[in-house]
Amino acid sequence: MASHRADASSFLDNRGYSGPLVRGVNPVTLFEKAVRDRITDSYYWKEQCFGLNAATLCDRAVELSSIGGTYGISEKPSPFLCLAFKLLQLNPDRDVILEYLNFSDPGSDEEGENPENGVVKERGDFKYLRALAAFYVRLTFDAVDVYKTLEPLLLDYRKIKRRIRDTYTLTYIDQFVDDLLTKDRVCGTSLWKLPPRRQLEDLEMLDERISPLADELEALDRDSNDGEEDADRNRSDNDSSGRRDEGDD
């Protein structure tokens, strides 16, 4: 008698998948097959990602201590990459992802003591949740929405750790977002080709972006021009004075 059993691998490609598509494919196939296999074979995936939903995934994201792709000689997938893969599998509504991006604890201070155990806790526990959501946006949103959603995060200068090889390096959320907007491979994952922003502006799909530093740059330019004009006047005055002295001799 034929028996039937659930085959999870059928949901890791286009076989047996009938859910929402991203650019015409099963969302989990946005990761290369080799990376998918490493993730599903990893201890973190089997132990920490089993049974997660869009709400409980936040608890795992809060526990993250770094971003990254694969690491070590055996190229183990980082917890960040495993959770990103879980997000692709869950494929939550857009409103949920936007909530991940903008979530913050209004009651937290820069530093404070946890009243339960007295542990000093830094504000920004949700910065890795924001980084995770930004990564998901880059993978799944269309080009216009990627720019509109991620560019405001360029003003987030909080520090985060990036795991590379067998070590860690310090980076910032705005730098990570800039990598997402400008690079084709981030966290060991190939990203789909994002059209240049200027091209979308020429097609009138995006408004021209005005940098928040524009006023400061203009002020610096004015100061620099004023300094050059003062230097030119001083040189001119010195030359005139020297000619008068020669005439007196």
State the pLDDT confidence band at 229, using cuts at 50, 70 and 90: low
State the pLDDT confidence band at 243, using cuts at 50, 70 and 90: low
Rounded Cα distance, 82 and 223, in Å: 50
Rounded Cα distance, 10 and 49, in Å: 18
Mean pLDDT of 94-108: 78
State the pLDDT confidence band at 120, using cuts at 50, 70 and 90: very low
Mean pLDDT of 207-224: 71
Asked whether residue 228 is assigned to any structural domain, the reply reads no
Asked whether residue 90 is assigned to any structural domain, the reply reads yes
Q: Encode pLDDT of 139-148 as tens digits.
A: 999 999 999 9
Indicate whether 235 pLDDT > 80.
no
**104-109-112 Cα angle (round to 5):** 125
Asked whether residue 173 is assigned to any structural domain, the reply reads yes
Q: State the residue range of the domain holding 168.
A: 8-202
Asked whether residue 1 is assigned to any structural domain, the reply reads no
State the pLDDT confidence band at 22, using cuts at 50, 70 and 90: confident
Asked whether residue 167 is assigned to any structural domain, the reply reads yes
pLDDT at 74: 83
Phi first, then psi, for residue 18 (nearest 5°) are: -130, 15
pLDDT at 221: 72
Residues above pLDDT 70, as percent of the chain: 70
Mean pLDDT of 151-166: 91
Q: What is the pTM of this model?
A: 0.77
Asked whether residue 214 is assigned to any structural domain, the reply reads no
Q: How many domains does the chain have?
A: 1
Mean pLDDT of 109-124: 41
Rounded Cα distance, 102 and 233, in Å: 52
Asked whether residue 53 is assigned to any structural domain, the reply reads yes
pLDDT, the chain, mean: 80
Asked whether residue 36 is assigned to any structural domain, the reply reads yes
Indicate whether 108 pLDDT > 80.
no
pLDDT at 232: 60
State the pLDDT confidence band at 88, using cuts at 50, 70 and 90: very high
Indicate whether 4 pLDDT > 80.
no
Rounded Cα distance, 163 and 74, in Å: 15
SS (H, E, C) the chain: CCCCCCCHHHHCCCCCCCCCCECCECHHHHCCHHHHHHHHHCHHHHHHCCCCCCCCHHHHHHHCCCEEEEECCCCEECHHHHHHHHHHHHCCCHHHHHHHHHCCCCCCCCEEECCCCCCEEECCCCHHHHHHHHHHHHHHCCHHHHHHHHHHHHHCCCEEEEEEECEEEEEEHHHHHHHHHHCCEECCEECCCCCCHHHHHHCCCCCCCCCCCHHHHHHHHHHHHHHHHHHHHHHHHHHHHHHHHHHHC
Question: Is residue 30 classed exposed, middle or buried when 0-12, 13-18 and 19+ CB atoms within 10 A define those classes?
Answer: buried
pLDDT at 35: 92
